[in-house]
Amino acid sequence: MNLRVDAPTAATRIRRFGPVQRWVHRTTAALMGVCVVTAACLYVPQLAELVGRRELVVRVHEWSGLALPVPVLVGLASRAFRADLGFLNRFGPHDRVWLRAALRRDKRRASRPAGKFNAGQKVYAAWIAGASLVMLGTGLLMWFTHLTPIQWRTSATFVHDWLALTIGIVLAGHIGMALGDPEARRGLRTGSVSKEWAEREHPLWRP
């Protein structure tokens, strides 16, 4: 009886992420979470009033921001992680089809071909990486105020504030989509996904 139940489930699980990818995602997410929460406590008046301790919150925000790229840099030592970065980087003809369909809000499966990562995930990954580096750069200009000329700091603050708002919205979208897809979350939590999910969401992926 047990055999009949276990055998098919074991057979239909497909390995999606190794321990390195999962660790990088988890630590980056945690650091980003700290950045966002401390930013909110510095910025939103009601939260600032509730939390206070401005100096401590600033320190935590600065150091978690500085640490944000570290998990990815450490992950580069892993061949599997580098391979995934390669998949995220390379766009094929099917990604163009996917993006066009997304712009038309066409949700039919046939118009959304995807490899290991779909085009939306690829664009998100590249953008959030670039945006985080811009936040890091402008953040450093705001942190080490006496090292930079007068106008730089005000300008850096301006970019840091508006990009923070943009990242907040995009990040909410990222988390919202993950909440809507339990199997994708299981992939990052356990490392494997069901065969049925993989064939449906990532038909061109050949694990």
Name the 3-class secondary structure at 105: coil
Shortest approach of another protein to residue 59 CB, angstroms? 11
Rounded Cα distance, 206 and 44, in Å: 46
Rounded Cα distance, 34 and 40, in Å: 10
Residue 78 class from Cβ within 10 Å (0-12 exposed, 13-18 middle, 19+ buried)?
middle
* Binding piece for another protein, criterion CB under 8 A, among 5-13, 17-25, 66-74, 150-158: 150-158
* Binding piece for another protein, criterion CB under 8 A, among 8-16, 19-27, 51-59, 68-76: 51-59
* Binding piece for another protein, criterion CB under 8 A, among 28-36, 63-71, 89-97, 185-193: 89-97
78 binds another protein (CB under 8 A): no
Collect all residues with Cβ–Cβ distance below 8 Å to 37 and sequence separation of at least 6: none
Rounded Cα distance, 140 and 132, in Å: 12
8 binds another protein (CB under 8 A): no
97 binds another protein (CB under 8 A): no
Collect all residues with Cβ–Cβ distance below 8 Å to 203 and sequence separation of at least 6: 109, 113, 114
Interface pick for another protein out of 29, 34, 37, 48 (rule CB under 8 A):
48
Q: Between 43 and 189, whose beta carbon lies closer to another protein?
A: 43
Which amino acid appears at position 126 of this protein? A
34 binds another protein (CB under 8 A): no
Interface residues with another protein (CB under 8 A) are: 43-45, 48-49, 51-55, 86-92, 94-95, 115-116, 122-123, 125-127, 129-131, 133-134, 137-138, 141, 145-146, 149-159, 161-163, 165, 204-206
